[in-house]
Amino acid sequence: MSLSAAPPRLIAHPVARLEGKVRVPGDKSISHRALMFGSMALGETTVTGLLTGEDVLRTAAAVRALGAQVVEQDGVWRVHGFGVGGGREPADMLDLGNSGTSARLLAGILASHRFTSFMTGDGSLRRRPMQRVMEPLGRMGARFESRAGGRLPLAIVGTDEMVPIEYTLPVASAQVKSAILLAGLNTAGETTVVEPEATRDHTERMLCHFGAEVRVCAGESGRGKRITVVGWPELRARDIVVPGDPSSAAFAVVAACVKPGSDVLVEAVGVNPLRTGLFTTLQEMGADIAFENPREIGGEPVADLHVRGGALKGVDVPPERAPTMIDEYPILAVAAACAEGTTRLLGLAELRAKESDRLASVAAGLAANGVRHEKGADFLIVHGDGKAPAGGGLVETHLDHRIAMSFLVLGLAAREPVAVDDGAPIDTSFPGFAALMNGLGARIEAGS
């Protein structure tokens, strides 16, 4: 009889300051899309800077199963695509691990092919709702079978006779928007998504980069957007350079912000305005963050972030900012715990549908480390006193990489070390996280 190994616990110890220059892994959202869009294009797409975390590798395996040729050599990924609507029926179930982006975006591609496919994931992904993509794709003509509540494993009965729709998103979600637009590529006519609040627009930008006809205009009363894709384009292979992921840069940025005397430069970070809500909020809190050497790479704005540590103050974060920083609320809560005064985070309902119930996980992590807070159905209020938080707690990550990394950053700023029960999920988005942070002067190590 054999026993499975215990999850790898990590411990972060308090440090005086951080200093240095780093480059974080490639943007996860753009990496997923580069592989998917390259697989639907004709010719060879080359991708440099691709994130090689577990989530993106699951996408690579999935598009291979659909018939794309995907190879990597010396950090350059080459994708030979099968064209719009040219994918083949997967021979086996698609296991997407922890990646909600893979599952939801691939659902749009699979729904518009005349075959049946199956997808599943790890324990965390099987708890996440898929009904939000099943409903609009069902209107377009696909059929689905799932567990109760629209949860994985999921059977997708696709069709190549999809019906174009105009769909208003009930919840701001770039993943749902993207699934519909990807299905619309293999649909006659025009498919339109109306988003009452603008969400990250990597899909629209990259579709244009590959030669699709995409129209974007303001929504009613000037709020949100209407995005229309014209079906049956011939996507052409393109070269893609993936910028650093702002959601990954967030951990080094906040760690530097909350330690006075720190001086950190994070190079080549994507600063798409629909992804920079955290940096805007930190600046409102008094953080010294400079956007240096701004440029554009592959249609995406990029800059080097120069961060100097100092005192932060509490602020109110408006709910309409949520779509621009939905993945960064856990690390923002850490910054709020180190600030002086009260920080109110509003409009957080979507956090309950992430890799874990992130709202509950963040609140529990704060409680374990002596940080006063209040939690509601869609808000979190954090009370800071301008001093280092107590720390000393063990945080349950619930297989969530961002919970793990956020509370390790808290451990660097706290009075006592902070431990997370499982550091393994970090590799889904940020392989080498501990080594990168330790290179700046952090002290993150394996614990028992």
CA distance linking residue 417 with residue 230, whole number of Å: 54
CA distance linking residue 107 with residue 36, whole number of Å: 12
CA distance linking residue 45 with residue 238, whole number of Å: 5
CA distance linking residue 275 with residue 278, whole number of Å: 8
DSSP run (H or E) holding 340: strand 340-346
Q: Could you give the 3-state DSSP secondary structure of residue 398?
A: coil
Helical spans, DSSP H, in 219-286: 246-257, 277-284
CA distance linking residue 199 with residue 208, whole number of Å: 17
Q: Could you give the 3-state DSSP secondary structure of residue 345?
A: strand
Q: Establish whether 327 is a catalytic residue.
A: yes
DSSP string, 49-74: S---SHHHHHHHHHHHHTT-EEEEET
> Of the residues 327, 357, 378, 385, which is catalytic?
327
CA distance linking residue 77 with residue 390, whole number of Å: 45
- DSSP β-bridge partners for residue 170: none
Task: Encode 113-132: b = buried (16+ Cβ within 10 Å), e = exposed.
Answer: beeebbbebbebbebbbbeb
Closest by alpha carbon to 241, among 298, 182, 184? 298
Residues with catalytic function: 327
